Each structure stands twice: as C-alpha cells, then as structure tokens.
Structure 1
Amino acid sequence: MGLLSQGSPLSWEETQRHADHVRRHGILQFLHIYHAVKDRHKDVLKWGDEVEYMLVSFDHENKKVHLVLSGEKVLETLQEKGERTNPNHPTLWRPEYGSYMIEGTPGQPYGGTMSEFNTVEANMRKRRKEATSILEENQALCTITSFPRLGCPGFTLPEYRPHPVEGGASKSLFFPDEAINKHPRFSTLTRNIRHRRGEKVVINVPIFKDKNTPSPFIETFPEDEEAARASKPDHIYMDAMGFGMGNCCLQVTFQACSISEARYLYDQLATICPIVMALSAASPFYRGYVSDIDCRWGVISASVDDRTREERGLEPLKNNHYRISKSRYDSIDSYLSKCGEKYNDIDLTIDKEIYEQLLQEGLDHLLAQHVAHLFIRDPLTLFEEKIHLDDANESDHFENIQSTNWQTMRFKPPPPNSDIGWRVEFRPMEVQLTDFENSAYVVFVVLLTRVILSYKLDFLIPLSKVDENMKVAQKRDAVLRDMFYFRKDICKAGGNAVVDGCGKAQNSTELAAEEYTLMSIDTIINGKEGVFPGLIPILNSYLENMEVDVDTRCSILNYLKLIKKRASGELMTVARWMREFIANHPDYKQDSVITDEMNYSLILKCNQIANELCECPELLGSAFRKVKYSGSKTDSSN
C-alpha cells in the first residue's frame, strides 16, 4: 500500500500548506539516493510477490457471507507469531486499505536460481494456512479480487451503516468508514482525496444488460444531490475510495542488476501489463450487480482520482497549475530507456522547475521528465512528526509522492543507506482464487523478465497504443473477444545495446507503425504461424536451454500450461467462471442482481476451490493439482 508512516496526520489544509516543502525535499532526497547509487552494478536478481486477501465469515444458516472487520487484529497476531518472534520467518504480513484485508509476502525475497520457482506455491500455501489457523469458526481467508456485494446494506461483520451526511472520511452512501483500516494513513488518504478533489470520487461501471435487466437501468438517489448528478444511466454508481482500494490484487517486484537494466525492464513490462491484466481478469461484480467489465483497474483509478475540476479540464485553470490527463492510479505515461524514447507519444505534463533542477544535477532527459511528471501531484498524507527530515538519510518525502502515483509499473530507487538495488514493480494483475493460479501468474511474469534480459527482446510500441490496450483489457471476455496492439518482431534488437543504448532511434512515425499490429491474446501468448512466435513457446525454448531439476521443470510447465489454456479459451478466466456460476444459480433472475444467497453460494464455492475441497476443471483443468491441502474452517454441511 506504500509508505506507512506513524504519527499525527495533518488535515488537508495543513498538508496543502506543506506541499511545496514535501516536493522540494522529496527531490533532494531522490537526488541523494541517485548520486549515491547511480553507478551501482552487479546486484543479484531478487524478486518477491505480494498477495492481498479478504477475511470473510459464512452464515450457513441464513446463507449469507460478510466481510469481517478484523484485519488489524489478525495482522497483529500473525506478526507477533511470525516476524517479531523470528526475523527469518518465511512469511511477512502487512496492512491493506480495508479493515477486512491483509497482505502477505514471502519472508525473504526469492533469488536467481531456477529452483526458486518451485518454492512460490509452497510459500503461498504456507501463508494461507498460517492466517487461516488463527481465524474463528466459519471464517475464511479468500483471494478474490472484488467482493460482489461490497457496499450493499449489511456487507460487513459487525454491521455498520454509512454516514454520508455526518463528518467522516468518505461520506459514502454505501461504504462505512469502519470498513477502512484503522491506521491513520488510510482514512487520511480517503478524506484528503475528497477534500482536494472538491467533491466525492465518482465511479460509474457499465452494467451488464441481461434479459430482464431494466433498460435503461437507472438508480435514484433523492437523498443525495451529488450522487444524483454523478450517477449515469446504465451504470453502477460508487462513491468512495473503498470501492477501488478495497479490492485485492497480485503484484511482483524485481531487483535489477543496475539502473539501466531496471529502466529497460520497466519499459518492456509496461507493454505486457494489459495482456496479463486481461488474462488474470477476476472482478465482474460491483455493489451487488453484474457489470459489463471484468477487471478492477478503471474502478480503482476512479476511486482515488483527486484531480480538481480545473485539472480535469472542466473549468479554466485558476487555482491549479496543470491540466492532468489521468488519475494518479493509471497506466504509465513515459518510457524510461533510450530505446523507448521514440515511442513516447503521450503529452507529458511535468513540473518544469523540477525537470530543470534534475537536468542540472546530471540526470538524463528521460529520467528527469519521469520524476518531474510524478511530482506534479500533491502529497495526500503528511504526519506532523515527518515534516522536517534529514534529506541525506531519509526518503519519506520522496516516497510520499512516489507511493501515491499508483501506475501499472513502478520504478523504485533503492532506499537510502541500504543494500537493496534498483527495482521495478509489476502491478496490473488481479488476484486469483487459488495458490496454484497466483503462483502461475507470478512465475510467468518473472520467467518473462529472465527471457527479456537473456534474449534482449523488444516489446516496445507507441505508449498511446499501450493505453488503448489497457482500456480494451478491462472489457468483458477481452481475453477471447478483443484484439491488442503488439510488436510484430520482438527479436530485432541485439546485444547489450538494448539495455545501454538501444541503437539509433528512428524518428519516423510511419516506420514505427509498421512495427506493431493488432493480435489476439491467444496469438500473443501461444503464437500463430507466420504472425507471431508466442510468449509461451519462447519461454519453453528458454527452459530447454537451462539446467532445471525435474520437479522445478514440471512445476513451471504446469504453470505455463494454465496461462496457455487461459489465453486460448480452453480454460476460463476467474471473471468468466464467476459469471457462469451466477448465471446458472437457481435464484438468478437474469436481471443483473446478485442477492445475498447467490453471493454466499459463490464465495463458499470459491473458498472450497481455494482449499482444494472440490475440483473446478473449467477454471483449472484436470492435471494441475500436486499437493492436497485442506485448511478451511468454513465447509458447510448444508
């Protein structure tokens, strides 16, 4: 979730008064880090995953399921039994936005050997078992991206009602503040985004038009003029940060051997983000309705959109400095490597003073504009005890801005005075139901980084086309129904030129247009003769040339088989499987409404699949299970 400072949070008005101070010292902190480690090389490959979980409670008698607001208590117990007792404990636990959420990571990063791939699933299983063991009867730890009835009356345990009129962080019609994690960062973020924006956030998700769905589908909010103005016909309306940050995701962070390698990986993986997002699609339901999208990305983007009306171009600039084209949670806006420069075709809003300062300090144009673009944003939270810092040895002001630019990729400088290297974070994936699936997506992305670096692959296309891909990737069944811009020849680049110089830039837009075309995800992942070799065949070729023990090779091939079959449509995405489950539920009236009992049936089934209490060949196939695990406390005899 980013920087978690402790202390006394300032109000938005107080934070705003210190905004220039935070930006100014954030840049100084970045420069201290940059000058100290810009020439650092030969850091070893390390990487790790982050899995976000929801805590749920099943009421088998009444056939209901609730989100349990016990995340802080569960987290405290896990940390006390784990890292506080043993610094080398194999799991780490951290807070997340929702009071019903926790985040788990491996206790130590994974290394560069191929055998590490065979430990990922075991560690994820350990996390699930560890957390499940301290839950109460009929409670479960679920890896679902979005809770279908989030924001519906009575969705939490204990139950709280939202207070849209009284003073509070979100003033939501649907999402009570009690569902927000009690760490002051989270409620402060919620409140300050609303204050900075000048109104509540607006999220409108297109509803899925089924046979009996009203047309037009219109919700009325007579008690709230703001909601009445903001909601749109044929859309599901939401009004709080919790509808986005209260969802779960799966992320991977890599340490590169140098800053140039990190910049190269950042660019190459940015083009992969929409492809993997569509492949991992897992969130088709919002606020008790069936939507017409499969991914949470646009929802979470809107949920933290703090831009004012001026910055969104709805009013002339008067009190603000910039028109800003995107939310602070969105796809990247510029490539960082020299080979990406010619594909930077998005107008980039930057703080020109910061940009000039960075150039004078010796940064190149691409990195300077990247940082100057991040720093057009205001800090959203500030703690009284963290205003005045030692810029040479602390980085809180830099991280304050950096960690609230939630983009598809994040370029991460080393922390000050640490042995950590330059890192990149891959952020677009939706969390999957099982540890096997989550391991498969993690291993696929990490293995892809190894192949990109080993074969010097080049996936770059104009960044505007990546943006278009991001929009397409969120559509219903995009993995099967839609086409994505992708580079035709990914093997043109040669030698270390890819990392350090990328050869001579071509300025011709016409030449660039010949380099990419529209492809299906099946073609991108599995290949098509005469069109594209396919990422899975390339990964398989790489594996054949590596020394890999039999068990590890078997695990990797199983993971790649899942990705291959999701791309071809032989196996469903989680989103498609959930849609089919609801469509076939005996209570479903083909009206796009998800009732309490339907929600209960779905989440119970998800939990049974996650704990291997039942098979799901439509989602997983038949040949993937290796180890029988049952840690569930929630199975119903009903």
Structure 2
Amino acid sequence: MGLLSEGSPLSWEETKKHGDHVRKHGIQQFINQYKKLKSRSRDILYWGDEVEYMLVKFDDEKKTAKLSLNAGEVLDNLQQCEKLCPQDHPSTWRPEYAGYMVEGTPGKPYGGLLAHFNVVESNMRLRRKEIQQALGPNEVPLSLTSYPRLGVGNFSDPETKTTPETGASKSIFFPDEVIFQGHPRFRTLSRNIRQRKGGKVEIQIPIFKDKKTPSPFIEDFSALGDDGEAARTAKPDHIYMDCMGFGMGCSCLQVTFQACNIDESRLLYDQLAPLCPIMLALSAASPVYRGYLSDIDARWTVISQSVDDRTDEERGKKELKNDRFQIHKSRYDSIDSYLSPIYKCYNDIELVLDQDLCDELQKGGIDETMARHIAHLFIRDPISLFSEKLNQNDEEDTDHFENIQSTNWQTMRFKPPPPNSSIGWRVEFRPMEVQLSSFENAAYVTFIVLLTRAVLSYGLNFVIPISKVDENMRTAHKRDAVNKDMFYFRKDVFTDCSPADVAKCMASGKCERIKCSNIQDEYTQMTMNEIFNGSDDFPGLIPLVKQYLNSVDIDIDTSCTIQNYLKLISKRASGAEPTIAKCIRNFVTNHPDYKQDSVVSEEINYDLLKLIHEKTDNCETLSTDTKFSSKTKDDIPTALSKAEKYLAQKNPQKNMTNGHKS
C-alpha cells in the first residue's frame, strides 16, 4: 500500500495548500539520495513476494461467507514474532486498505541461490498457517483477488452500515467501518481522493450479459440512500461502484527485485514493463464485482477507477483554469515511459510532466530520461499528509518524495534505496492477481524471477512501444483473454549485446542496435500460447527460462519444484488449464441457484468460497513436504472445474446443461 507515516492527518484543504512544498522538497530529497547512491553497486540480487489475504467468516447454518473485520487484532498477533525476534522471523505482516485484509511477505528476502526457489511455497503456506492460528472459529484466510459480494447488503462481520451523507467515502455500498481502522492513512486517502476529485469516484465495469440479464441493465439505487448522484453517474449495462474500497479492497500478488546497481534496476524496470499486461491476463482471477458477473476477468481497471482523483479540468472535460495539467490516466495505471536512455524512442505517448521540476532535476545531475519520469510522477498532488512530517531534513529524509512516489500506483515501480539503509536499488512488479493456493502463487513468483535472471544472463530485450503496452493492458482485462485474444510482443528478444555491453549503452545513452526508424517491424501480435510456449518464429518465455536453468548448477529437488511451476504456467498459457477467473465464472454459471441473470447470490457466494477453502486447506495442510502441493493432482483450478460434479452431489435434483440450469 506504500508509505505508512505516523501522525495526525491534515484535511484535504490543508494538504492541497502544502502541495508545492511537498513537491519541491520531494524533488530535492530524490536529488540528494541519487547523488549519494548513484554509484552504489555490487548489491546482491535479492527478491521477495507480497501476498494479500482476505479474512472470511463462514456461518454454515445460515450458509453465508462474510468478510471478517478483525485484521487489526490479527496483525497484532502476527507481528509479535517480528517484534520479539527482529533479526529472525519467518514472515513479516503489514496492514492493507480494508479491515478484512492482511499482507504477508517473507521475513527475509530471498537471494541469488537457485535453492531459494524450493522454499517459496513452503514459506507461503507457513504464512497462511500463521494467519489461521490467529483467527477465531469458522474464520479462514483466503488469497482471493476480489470478494464476489463486496458492497452488497450485510457483507461483513460484524455488520456495518453505510453513511452516504457523512464520512470518508460517502459510499452507498461500502461502509467506512470496513476501512482498516488501525491507521489513519486509509480513511484519509478515501476522503481526500473524493474531495480532490470534487465528487465520489466513478467505477464503471461492463456487466456480463446472460440470457436473462435485463437489457439495458439499469439499477435503482434509491433504497440505498442515493441522493441522485449514482442514478446520474451509473452507465447502462455497467456495474457501478462509488468508493476507493472496491479497488483497494482487492488483493494482489507482487514481487520486488533488488538489482546490483541503478543501471540494472532501470533495465529490469524496462524489460518487465511489457510483461505486465501479459502476466495480468495469465493470472486473471476476478470476474465478479458487487454481486454481479462482469464482462472482464481482471481487477486492474477497477482499482484504477477507484482512486482516480482527477478533476474535470484534468480529464479534459473543462478548460484548464484552476488546475495545472490535463492528465491522461489515473494515478493507478500503466507506466508512461521507459527509464533507460537507450529505449527513449519507444516512449511514443505524450508524457505529461512538470517542466520546472524536470529542469531542477537535470540541474541536480539527473539524466533527462530519469528526470522526465520523476517530473511525470510529480504532476500529482500529495493526497495524504501528516502534520508531524511537514518539515523535514532533505539531506536525510525522503518522506516527501515517497509521499508522491508511493501514491503513483503504476504497473511497475522504480524504488530508490531508503536513507541510511543496506537496501539497494529495486523495482516492483505489481500487476499480478493473487492466486488461490500457495502452489500457484509460488509458481507465478518463481517464473517472473527466473525470467529476470534469463534477461540479465542473455541480454534479452522485450521492449516494444509504450502505446502497444497500453493496448495490451486493455486486452488483458477481457473475458478469457488468454484464449481468445492476441497481444503485441517483440519478435526478436535476443540482442547483440552482452550484459556488459548493455551497461555501456546505458552509460552512454545510446546503442547502435536501436534503430528508431523500423520499430514497427520489431513486434507483432501473438497468442498467449506462442508468447509463453513458443512457435516456429518465437522461442517462447518458458523455453528461455529452461535454457537458463540448463546453463546453471541446480539440485534435483529444486529442479523438480521449478519444473512443476513451469508446467502450470505453460498449461495456463496454452488453455490446457483455465485461469482462476474462468473457473469462478464457470462455477457461478453452473450453480443451481444461478438464474442466468448475472447475479451472484449469497448461496452461490457461500458455496464458492467454501469450496475454495476446503480445497485450499486440503492442499496446504496434508503434508509438511515443501513439494507436496506442487505435485498434487487435485489442485485448486482442477477442483473448481469439477464444479458440476460437486454441485450435482449437493443438489441431485438439478442437472446442468450447456453451462446453465436445465
């Protein structure tokens, strides 16, 4: 979630008043840190994952599965080990936006040893076990991207009520009490985003049009306390949501990499950026929002819209008078530029930036490409500011820089070393949807980490124009995009440069191999299967990873574990195994209570989450062998795809035909 400063939050009016102050000092803080640390090198290739969990409480008598709002108490329990043994704890726990969420990471980062891939899954399963031990009766942790009935009726335990006329969000669906209460940042963000925008956020997601879905699909919000805003704003045939919580209340899977030096971190940032939409589609796990089946499979656009605080002037709906820029994207969106100077000709979309700050950065010794990136981030206002953090020492502090940096929630994040820390230059890979089991999460994490090793070892190049990455992001959300759509990808990923040569190119800011005149010939559209498994004309990402593995020493156990992970990725990409989103969609449409009207009822929600928990729990706890769940045949997607059998046993009187009730 980003920077968690302690203190007294300022109102939006006070925060906006200090916007120039934060930007000015944030830029100076970055310049100072850059000068101190730009030559830092030889850092270890550390990496680590972040898994976000939802706390769910089952009532088996009433057949309900509600979100349990006891994250604060659970976190107090989970963080005891970290406090008692700060140098030796297996997992680290942090709060997230909602009171039903906790975020877990390894206690220490993983290093460059291949053997570390053999403990990723076991550490994830340990985290799930730790949460479970901190929960009460009938409460379970689920690594679920989106809770299907978020914002529908009484969806939380304890029960909460909306306050449309008061509070931080003024949502007609999402009570303020559901926001995590243990830190003021989250409520402050909700309030300030709404006030900065000049009204509630507007999330519009196309509904899945089934046989009995009303056409046009238009809801009546009057019984929920709507003052007319929802009725005016909601688009026909769309699921309307009005609060930051609908996006930030989703869970994700993220990976952070520490590079050897700043140039390597910029290179990784650029090479991973085109993979963001690809991995978003491959990990798609969220087809249901506010109790309705949507016509998308991934959460990213929901979060993007949920924190879009642009005013009408910034959106281009009105002439600029009070605001400084027209801004093309939400502050939660895909990146707008590559960081390496040698790839600047691939930055083919307009980069809105603060030119004065860009000039100041360049005067401070920052190269043009990096200066433009930072000046682009700093077109945003700070949206959460604490009085105790207003005046800082720019030589030692970085809170003003991080204030704006950490509220630009983009697909990739370039992260400078913290002050007075042993931590190096890092990049964060942010697009992936969290998977249901530790095995799946470990597989996705392991794949993307191994791919970075192949990139650095072979000097691979995945860069395509930023405009095509944006097109891929739009494609990635589509229903069953993995099987039905094609994505732009680079034809020739092999460069003529060794990693050392690439470093020289980075230093000089130019590369003889990059010919800006023929960029359109460097990429084409490929299927997901071709991108991952290869074709006659393209080697495939998985074969490239396997080639890298064949070139290094690796023990048999670790090799077996990795091969099982790669097998999952390969099957998902080929369509041989469905994404979580497709599994959930199939479960809903095959459920006896489904009326072919796009509605996900309380009963469907209960049965779905109950089945996910039972199968996940079985997978996580049957064995302490670190490789057990990577070898089990009855994994979560397979279990979900057996929904018809499960439901037939539950309701033998009802049969399934063509995905619907007969």
Q: Shorter-chain TM-score: what band?
A: over 0.9
Preserved CA contact (<8 Å) 1:53 1:101: yes
Q: Residues 84, 314 of structure 1: CA spacing in aligned structure 2 closer, same or farther, 3 A cutoff?
A: farther
Could you say if the C-alpha distance between residues 199 and 500 of structure 1 is closer, same or farther in structure 2, counting changes exceeding 3 Å?
farther
* Structure 2 match to 1:394: 397
The alpha carbon displacement at 1:86 in A equals 4.8
The residue type paired with residue 513 of structure 1 is Q
Q: Which residue of 2 aligns with 1:155?
A: 155
Cα distance, 1:628–1:211 mapped onto 2, change above 3 Å? closer
Is 1:356 matched up with 2:359?
yes
1-side partners of 2:351 and 2:634: how far apart?
51
Shift in alpha-carbon separation, 1:375–1:7, aligned structure 2, 3 A: same
After superposition, what is the alpha-carbon deviation per residue over 1:359-415, rounded to whole angstroms, capped at 9, x for unaligned? Answer: 111111100000000100000011111101111111110000000000000000000
The alignment's C-alpha RMSD in Å is 1.9
1:536 equivalenced with 2:532 (yes/no): no
Aligned residues of 1:150 and 1:287 also touching (Cα < 8 A): yes
The correspondence of residues 93-492 of structure 1 with structure 2, limited to 5 A, is 93-165=93-165, 167-182=166-181, 183-222=183-222, 223-492=226-495
Contact 2:104–2:127 under 8 Å retained in 1? yes
- 1:382 is aligned with what amino acid? L
Name the CA shift for 1:542/1:214 in 2 (closer, same or farther; >3 Å). same
The 3-state SS of whatever aligns with 1:326 is: coil
Distance in structure 2 (CA, Å) of the matches to 1:400 and 1:86: 26
Amino acid at match of 2:521: E
CA–CA separation in structure 2 for the residues paired with 1:60 and 1:264? 51
Q: Aligned AA for 1:408?
A: T
Give yes or no for the alignment of 1:513 onto 2:512.
no
* Deviation digits for residues 59-110 of structure 1 (CA, Å, limit 9, x no counterpart): 1001111000100110011112444345311100000000000000000000
Q: Among the aligned pairs, what percent are the same residue?
A: 59
Q: Which residue does the alignment assign to 2:555?
A: 549
1:203-236 CA-partner distances (Å, limit 9, x unpaired): 0000001111111111123433211121000000
What is the one-letter code of the residue matched to 1:232? K
Distance between the aligned counterparts of 2:385 and 2:593, measured in 1?
Answer: 48
Aligned to 2:659: none
Contact kept in structure 2, 1:180 and 1:242, CA below 8 Å: yes
Q: CA–CA distance in 1 between the matches of 2:486 and 2:634?
A: 38
Matched, 1:572 2:578: yes
| Preserved CA contact (<8 Å) 2:207 2:239 | yes
- Matching residue's letter, 2:58: F
> Distance between the aligned counterparts of 2:359 and 2:76, measured in 1?
45
Does the CA contact (< 8 Å) of 1:260 and 1:500 recur in 2? no
State whether residues 458 and 493 of structure 1, in contact with CA within 8 Å, keep that contact through their aligned partners in structure 2: no
User: Residues 158 and 596 from structure 1, CA distance in 2 versus in 1: closer, same or farther, beyond 3 angstroms?
Assistant: same
Q: Provide the C-alpha distance between the structure 2 equivalents of 1:381 and 1:282, rounded to a whole number of angstroms.
A: 30
Alpha-carbon distance in 2 for matches of 1:230, 1:303: 14
Q: Summarize the Cα distance change of 1:492–1:613 in structure 2 as closer, same or farther, 3 Å threshold.
A: closer
1:55 aligns with 2:55: yes
| Structure 1: tracts of 5 or more residues without a match | 616-621, 630-636
Q: Give the distance between the partners of 1:354 and 1:9, measured in 2 at CA.
A: 26
Check whether the contact 1:27–1:398 (CA below 8 A) recurs between aligned residues: yes
Correspondence for 2:606 = 600
Q: Does the CA contact (< 8 Å) of 1:342 and 1:506 recur in 2? A: no
Alpha-carbon separation, structure 1, partners of 2:629 and 2:179: 40
- Contact 1:83 1:92 survives alignment (8 Å): no
Aligned partners of 1:612, 1:509: CA distance in 2, in Å? 54
One-letter amino acid of the structure 1 residue matched with residue 104 of structure 2: G
Counterpart residue type for residue 40 of structure 1: R
Instruction: Give the structure 2 partner of residue 632 of structure 1.
Output: none
Once the two structures are superposed, residues 466-508 of structure 1 have per-residue CA deviations (whole angstroms, 9 ceiling, x without a partner) of: 0000010011000110000000000033112323416536786
Equivalent AA in structure 2 for residue 525 of structure 1: F
| Alpha-carbon displacement from aligned partner over 1:185-217 (angstroms, at most 9, x marks no partner) | 000000000000001000000000111111111
Inter-partner Cα distance in structure 2 for 1:173 and 1:493: 57
Alignment-derived partner of residue 592 in structure 2: 586
Aligned length: 624
- Deviations along 1:247-271, one digit per CA (max 9) or x if unpaired, are 0000000000010000000000000
Q: C-alpha distance in 1, partners of 2:272/2:83? A: 32
Q: Is the CA contact 1:339–1:498 (under 8 Å) kept in the aligned structure 2?
A: no
Residue 147 of structure 1 aligns to which amino acid in structure 2? Y
Supply the distance in 2 between the matched residues of 1:163 and 1:595 (Cα, whole angstroms): 24
Report if the CA contact (8 A) 1:433-1:609 is conserved. Answer: no
Are 2:50 and 2:103, in contact at CA under 8 Å, matched by a contact in 1? yes
2:526 matches 1:527: no
CA deviation string 1:159-210 (max 9, x = no partner): 1111111x20000010000000111000000000000000100000000011
Residues 346/388 of structure 1: CA separation in 2 closer, same or farther (3 Å cut): same
2:67 is matched by which residue type in structure 1?
L
Equivalent position SS for 1:266: helix
Q: CA offsets per residue over residues 539-577 of structure 1, 9 Å max, x none?
A: 111111110001100000000000000000010100000
Identify which range, 493-502 or 216-225, moves more after superposition. Answer: 493-502
Instruction: Give the match for residue 72 of structure 1.
Output: 72
Distance in 2 (alpha carbons) for counterparts of 1:405 and 1:54: 24
Query: 2:268 is aligned with what amino acid?
Result: L
| 305-314 vs 337-346, which moves further | 337-346
The answer to whether structure 1 residue 559 and structure 2 residue 565 are counterparts is yes
Q: Distance in 2 between matches of 1:106 and 1:614?
A: 17
Letter of the 2:324 partner, please give it.
H
SS at match of 1:251: strand
Amino acid at match of 2:361: L
* Secondary structure of residue in 2 paired with 1:262: helix
Q: 1:92-149 CA distances to partner (integer Å, 9 max, x unpaired)?
A: 0000000000000000000001001111001001100011012111110000000000
Partner SS, residue 392 of structure 1: coil
SS of residue paired to 2:417:
coil
Q: 1:515-550 deviations in whole A, cap 9, x for unaligned?
A: 000001110000011x21100011111111110001
2:646 match:
none
CA distance in 2, matches of 1:545, 1:85: 38
Give the whole-Å Cα distance in 2 for the aligned partners of 1:321 and 1:550: 59
Following the alignment from structure 1 to structure 2, what is the Cα–Cα distance between the partners of residues 506 and 361? 30
C-alpha distance 614-23 of structure 1, shift in aligned 2 (>3 A): closer
Q: Secondary structure at the match of 1:406?
A: coil
Residues 52 and 104, structure 2, Cα contact 8 Å, conserved in 1: yes
Q: Measure the CA separation in 2 of the matches of 1:126 and 1:624.
A: 15
CA–CA distance in 2 between the matches of 1:553 and 1:329? 37
2:511 is aligned with 1:504: yes
Shift in alpha-carbon separation, 1:506–1:552, aligned structure 2, 3 A? closer
Name the TM-score, length of structure 1 as normaliser: 0.95
Deviation track 1:261-283 (CA, whole Å, cap 9, x = no partner) reads 00000000000000011000000
After TM superposition, the structure 1 stretch with the greater mean CA deviation from structure 2, 487-496 or 3-12, is 487-496
The residue identity in structure 1 corresponding to 2:587 is F
**Which stretch has the larger CA shift, 574-583 or 505-514?**
505-514
